[in-house]
Amino acid sequence: MHINKIKIRNFRLLKETEVDLNKDLSLFIGKNNSGKTSLLVLFERFFQQQNEFNFNDFSLYLRNDIKNINPETNVNKMSIQLIMEISYGIQDNLEHLSEFIVDLDPARKSVKILFECTINKEKLVRDLQNFEQKEDKYRFIEKELNRYLVTDIYTFDQYEDLQEESRGRKLIKKNLKDIKRLINFQIIHAKRDVASSEANGSKKILSGLTTDFFNKQNSDEDFRNVNREMIDMDNQLDKIYENTFEGFLKNSKEFLELKNLKVVSNLQSNELVKHSSQIIYGDDKNFLPEHLNGLGYMNILYLLLSIEMKKEQFKKENKDINLLIIEEPEAHTHPQLQYIFANEIKKVLKDKEIGSIQTFMTSHSTHIVSECDFGDIRCLVKENEEQEIIIKNFAAELREHYKEKEEEFQFVKQYLTIHSAELFFASKVIFIEGTTERMMLPYFIDKIDRGEAAKDSLYERLASQNISILEVGANAKAFNPFLKMLNIKTLVITDIDTTEESVGKNGRISYKTCRVENGENTSNETLKFFLNAPDKKDSPKEFDKWLANLKEQKVEPMNSNLKVAYQKEENGYCARSFEDAFLNINLGAIKENKERLRGLKHKDCLNLDGTLDIYLMTEKILDKKSDFASSLLYLALSDDNIEWNIPAYIKEGLLWLGK
């Protein structure tokens, strides 16, 4: 038995969304302010804090309707809702779930439960009559709406039962006690009171947890033998106390006329343990207290101990569904610890005595995501300009986008989990082809940021944005369904890579590299894909027209959230690759610094003004691209007199991305 689906309506950014859940672990990820905390708060409100809903919990699009509430307002349409679907099998004990089963069809193996927070319209409208001015009414609603909110729980059969005309007949009211007999809800918040500083060392947070855990696991019966020994200690301490407190007792008797006042020893083993247990690390002879441990270790220890305590509650209460929420386990931890946590958490949560622990975990750690099972991921994504957030069952929905492209799906899946889980959290993405662009791009970004941010108010510094830069070669197109699914603004920086037809001795046609003006084709599959190239074999005329428009920068990408940047004409020349585009606009500086640049050969060719054009010169002098790029960057960073120009296509692409 487990919660297999949830639906959420009208709670903060979660206007309307639903998501399928795993039986064991579901990992909710998303950028900051994407609604991860709201999801957890919603569960906590309905399970533990039903009186704490307020005006700010309602989605933004409802605020105006709430402020203008009147006798005709349909408050059911603006209610905050959490719907849980619970699936069960023939092996499950249905004693507590039977309270929620409304269909006796033996083939049905699920129930639906509605948690709902609704405005008491009649009471609110009546009280609003005390205000004459609209502004006063609005302020009253914003501050006092919580007094007019009612939380209810229902079971129902079909989603049509939620319609206005069916609610009175189809919704069966339940109460929180019914839910708590069925579901044991536990939560571990991100705000964990761990500290490693000397100032907070006296707090002993971990030691306090160990004490709580110990006392819950041991009854007074377990302390009986220890308490017998403490009686003897009490008798000895009584004599010492009598002498120590003689003055205090004498004064008290005289002031208050208390004849029988005494101070006696009352040692109890469970009270003694409360103040004496502590977490240490090191060996028996040379140990250190808990607060001298690192925050990362303390956070993980806190989490593990908290999980053990929650597990003990699950065992003790023995309910049908054990629901555990863990918020941002990565707090204070370095990447290696995050990897370890992600690898081990499922083992920790398994317990034969408990059965299944259904866990929701939120995170914005790329390290945790990269180590998790792909099928565990649930991604919170901004759906539109109104900031509405929806929750996607990532693996299932992504596979649907890659229909008949299994090889690409496996590539993206492997790439994301090993190399670039950061894509899940990126607000923008730059795809580049090779090492040269990867080395130089941070320099280009910094240069544009310093210049453009000062003169264009619409430009937001790229360095201050959450941008992922990925070197994917010719595989950028494999990410297209992923990018569309997460609605990420994307810049693809690539080469035009023109080729011309060549006929071999055997009559076989092939294509070899050539100048852009002579190009009859392009070897760049990324360009062809993102810019919707016709098939050259099937539609040669359409392809030739497309290629001509490509050279003139007149081809639009497949969607407005994507830009493909490739070489364009500068100084009367259109380059074919990054290297000759860079050489074209920086020729003078390269000549001046040729002896300081690595990755070049035949440097004398740089002295042949007008003899070699840029295309031939690039082929002649370029040796090792990575060495050339690294030395370009080194000179730019180490010599204040050197400042490289940015190829126009890259500059235009970065400016587009910055707005």
The side-by-side arrangement of strands in the sheet containing 357-363 is 183-188, 321-327, 357-363, 25-29, 377-382, 389-393
pLDDT (mean) for 74-100: 93
Tell me: do 16 and 161 sit in the same domain. yes
pTM for the model stands at 0.78
Query: Is 79 domain-assigned?
Result: yes
> Which residues are within 8 A (CB) of 522 and not within 5 positions of it... i.e. 6 or more apart?
496, 497, 498, 499, 528, 533, 547, 550
Instruction: Quick: pLDDT tens for 17-36.
Output: 999 999 999 999 988 778 88
Task: Answer yes or no: is 231 within a domain.
Answer: yes
Mean pLDDT for the stretch of residues 415-429: 78
- Same domain for 214 and 184? no
pLDDT bracket for residue 286 (50, 70, 90): very low
119, part of any domain: yes
pLDDT 10s digits, 537-592: 999 999 999 999 999 999 998 888 899 999 999 999 999 999 999 999 999 999 99
Q: Which amino acid is residue 208, in one-letter code?
A: G
CB-based contacts of 612: which residues, under 8 Å, 6+ apart?
605, 620
Q: Are residues 215 and 177 in the same domain?
A: no
Distance CA 497, CA 46 (A): 59
Helix (H, G, I), strand (E, B) or coil at 67: helix
Say if residue 255's pLDDT is above 60.
Answer: no
Q: Quick one: 216 and 181 in the same domain?
A: no
pLDDT of residue 404: 78
On whether both 178 and 217 belong to a single domain, the answer is no
Mean pLDDT calculated for residue range 487-508: 89
Query: Which of 75-84, 351-360, 602-611 is predicted with the least confidence, judged by mean pLDDT?
Result: 602-611
| pLDDT band for position 607 (cuts 50, 70, 90) | confident
Domain end point (choices 188, 214, 241): 188
> Is 658 among the domain residues?
no
- Report how far residue 206's alpha carbon sits from residue 286's, in angstroms, rounded to the nearest whole number: 20
* 200 has a pLDDT exceeding 50: no
Tell me what the mean pLDDT of segment 393-402 comes to. Answer: 85
Q: Give the pLDDT score at 385.
A: 63
Yes or no: say if 298 and 290 are a contact pair by the CB < 8 Å rule.
yes
Percent share of the chain, pLDDT over 90: 47
Closest CA to 378 of 428, 389, 45: 389
Q: What is the pLDDT of residue 218?
A: 53
Domain boundary among 278, 293, 317: 278
Same domain assignment for residues 124 and 246? no
Q: Please check whether residue 169 lies inside any domain of the structure.
A: yes
Burial 515-547 (b: 16+ CB within 10 A, else e): bbeebebbbbebbbbbbebbebeeeeeebeebb
Question: Is residue 292 in some structural domain?
Answer: no
Percentage of the chain modeled with pLDDT above 70: 83
What is the per-residue burial (b if ≥16 Cβ within 10 Å, else e) of 136-162? ebbebbeeebeebbebbbbbbbeeebb
Residues 184 and 216 in one domain: no
96 pLDDT higher than 80: yes
β-bridge partners, 29: 363, 379
User: Could you report the per-residue pLDDT of 107-138, keeping only the tens digit for each?
Assistant: 889 999 999 999 999 999 999 999 989 999 99
Tell which wins on pLDDT, 277 or 21: 21
Q: Where are the beta strands (DSSP E) in 189-282?
A: 280-282
Is pLDDT of 640 > 60? yes
How many other C-beta atoms lie within 10 A of the C-beta of residue 176? 15
Write the pLDDT tens digit of every residue in 609-639: 666 789 999 999 999 988 999 999 999 999 9
Same domain for 167 and 53, yes or no, is: yes
Instruction: For residues 223 and 147, state if they share a domain.
Output: no
β-pairing, 287-289 vs 280-282, is: antiparallel
Task: Please write the tens of the pLDDT for every residue from 290-300.
Answer: 444 455 566 67
- Answer with the one of 243, 262, 278 that is the final residue of a domain: 278
Residue 467 in any domain: the answer is no
The pLDDT value recorded for residue 214 is: 55
CB 28 within 8 Å of CB 39? yes
Total domains present in the chain? 2
Are residue 40 and residue 183 in the same domain, yes or no?
yes
603 near 621, Cβ under 8 Å? Answer: yes
Residue 582, pLDDT score: 95
Looking at the structure, tell me whether residues 162 and 215 fall in a common domain: no
616 in any annotated domain: no
For 179, the domain range is 2-22+36-188
pLDDT at residue 275 greater than cutoff 80: no
Q: Which of 130-139, 231-240, 370-379 has the lowest mean pLDDT?
A: 231-240
* Listed residue (579, 339, 366) closest to 470, CA to CA: 366
Name the band, by pLDDT with cuts 50, 70 and 90, for residue 6: very high
Q: Read off the pLDDT band of 204 (50, 70, 90).
A: low
pLDDT for 30: 86
* Pair 521, 511: CB distance under 8 Å: yes
Q: At what angle do helices 121-128 and 134-144 cross, to 10 degrees?
A: 140
**For 393-428, what is the HEC assignment?**
EHHHHHHHHCCCCHHHHHHHHHHHHHCCHHHHHCCE
Name the residue among 209, 196, 200, 197 with its Cα closest to residue 278. Answer: 209
Distance, CA of 25 to CA of 28 (rounded, Å):
10
Same domain, 11 and 157: yes
Q: What is the pLDDT of residue 225?
A: 61
Distance CA 453, CA 465 (A): 13
Instruction: For the chain, give the mean pLDDT.
Output: 84
Q: Please say if the pLDDT value at position 659 is more than 80.
A: yes
User: pLDDT by residue (tens digit) across 155-199?
Assistant: 999 999 999 888 988 999 999 999 999 999 999 887 655 444 444
